[in-house]
Amino acid sequence: MELAVFDPHILLKHKAAAQGETRIRADGKTYKKTGKRWLVVSKTAAPESAERVEGDVLHRGDLYFNYAMASNLGGTVDKVLEDMGISDFDTLVERIKTGPADTAHKIYKEIVDRVAAGPGTSVDKQAVVHLIGQSLVTLRNQFSTRPKVALKVKVTSKKGIEYYKYKEGLPTLKATATSKAKKKMGGWSVTGKLESSHMRKMLKTKAAKLIAGKIDAKRKWQLPKQAVDIDLKYKGDSLLIRVKQIRKGKERTRATAKAEIRIPYAFAKAFLQNHIASAKTRNNFIFRMERSAGYRDFLQRAAA
Question: How far apart are alpha carbons 112 and 66 in whole angstroms?
Answer: 17
CA-wise closest residue to 265 among 284, 229, 240: 240
Name the amino acid, one letter, at 244. K
Q: What is the DSSP letter of 244?
A: E
Whether the Cβ atoms of residue 162 and residue 181 lie closer than 8 Å to each other: no
Task: Using alpha carbons only, give the angle 289, 295, 298 rounded to the nearest 5 degrees.
Answer: 160
Question: How far apart are alpha carbons 110 and 76 in whole angstroms?
Answer: 11
From first CA to last CA, the distance across the chain in angstroms is: 102
Task: Report the SS3 class of residue 91.
Answer: helix
How many C-beta atoms lie closer than 10 Å to residue 71's C-beta?
A: 20
* Alpha-helical regions (H) of the chain: 50-70, 74-83, 89-98, 103-117, 122-143, 175-184, 196-205, 265-275, 279-290, 293-302
Whether the Cβ atoms of residue 229 and residue 281 lie closer than 8 Å to each other: no
Question: How far apart are alpha carbons 297 and 184 in whole angstroms?
Answer: 19
Task: Report the SS3 class of residue 227.
Answer: helix
Question: How far apart are alpha carbons 169 and 194 in whole angstroms?
Answer: 23
Which sign, positive or negative, has the C-alpha torsion 183, 229, 258, 222? negative
Whether the Cβ atoms of residue 100 and residue 148 lie closer than 8 Å to each other: yes
pLDDT, position 2 = 53
Q: What is the DSSP letter of 240?
A: E
pLDDT, position 175 = 77
Whether the Cβ atoms of residue 205 and residue 232 lie closer than 8 Å to each other: no
Tens of pLDDT, residue by residue, the chain (304 residues)? 455 554 554 444 555 666 667 777 777 777 777 766 777 765 544 444 556 777 888 898 999 999 999 999 999 999 999 999 999 999 999 888 887 778 888 999 999 999 999 999 999 999 999 999 999 988 887 776 444 444 445 667 777 777 655 445 555 677 788 888 888 998 888 888 899 999 999 999 999 999 999 999 899 999 998 888 999 998 899 999 999 998 887 778 888 999 999 999 988 988 988 888 888 888 889 888 888 888 888 888 877 5
